[in-house]
Amino acid sequence: MLKVESIDVFYGNIQALKGVSLEVKNGEIVTLIGANGAGKSTLLKTISGLLKPKQGDILYEGTSIAGKAAQTIVKQGISHVPEGRRIFANMTVEENLELGAFLRKDKQEIQQDFEKVYHLFPRLYERRKQLAGTLSGGEQQMLAIGRSLMARPRLLLLDEPSMGLAPLLVKTIFRIIEEINSFGTTILLVEQNAHMALSVADRAYVIESGRVVLSGTAQELNASEQVKKAYLGGH
């Protein structure tokens, strides 16, 4: 479904990604693991069109999307839930969700998707008339995910969904990620909590200093000494 081929990405003169290649197959959950500043968020931003690669290519369902405008990429079926949630604080929950469907014209199906999101996140239904800025961190994360689902993505890019959340909420968010995947949405997940990420993923890539240094099935990486030492707290 997604093929990233040897991309180089720069911020000014600083090279953030160095020849990164990976692939995501239809229906999978693939996770990217790595320390802060390793280039994981940069990779998601490049896939979703917020950054342009200097070298290499990105193929989505066989078509190159490298350097295309972000809205074009959303139209093609890729949604990005950014790190830090980026919800619209002065708009209601419902208005935030409506914005997720901004590019769509199919009113009836949009209504069905509202119902789907509220089914996934009952808390958002209870708070639908509330300003998004008044929600708790966990609720804002639910809203950010819900908003991206309103675009009906076939591929969902999730950046640090558990960041700053209480352990119980982290479990809830990951259960929902699995549920979204079971509905047929493919997921590329960036997550600091390597343990949780590997527990839901089919495959994983480890990124260090802008390079992919390791890849394999989630089980292989879970069992790898290198991964255990660096990302799973040694146990």
Contact 152, 106 (CB under 8 A): no
Which H or E run includes 60? strand 55-60
Write out the E strands in 88-192.
155-159, 186-190
Which domains, ranges and CATH numbers included, belong to the chain? 1-77+153-172+185-235 (3.40.50.300), 88-151 (no CATH)
Amino acid at 134: T
The length of the chain in residues reads 235
pLDDT tens digits in sequence order for the chain, 235 residues long:
999 999 999 999 999 999 999 999 999 999 999 988 899 999 999 999 999 999 999 999 999 999 999 989 999 999 999 887 788 888 999 999 988 888 777 888 888 888 889 999 998 999 999 999 899 888 898 999 999 999 899 999 999 998 888 888 888 889 999 999 999 999 999 998 898 999 999 999 999 999 999 999 999 999 998 888 888 875 4
- What are the C-alpha distances in Å from 192 to residues 9, 79, 141? 21, 20, 15
CA 47 to chain centre: 11
pLDDT by residue (tens digit) across 171-208? 888 999 999 999 999 999 999 889 899 999 999 999 99
| Overall pTM surpassing 0.75 (yes/no) | yes
- The C-alpha atoms of residue 140 and residue 66 are separated, in whole angstroms, by 30
Residue (of 65, 152, 50) closest to 100 by Cα position: 152
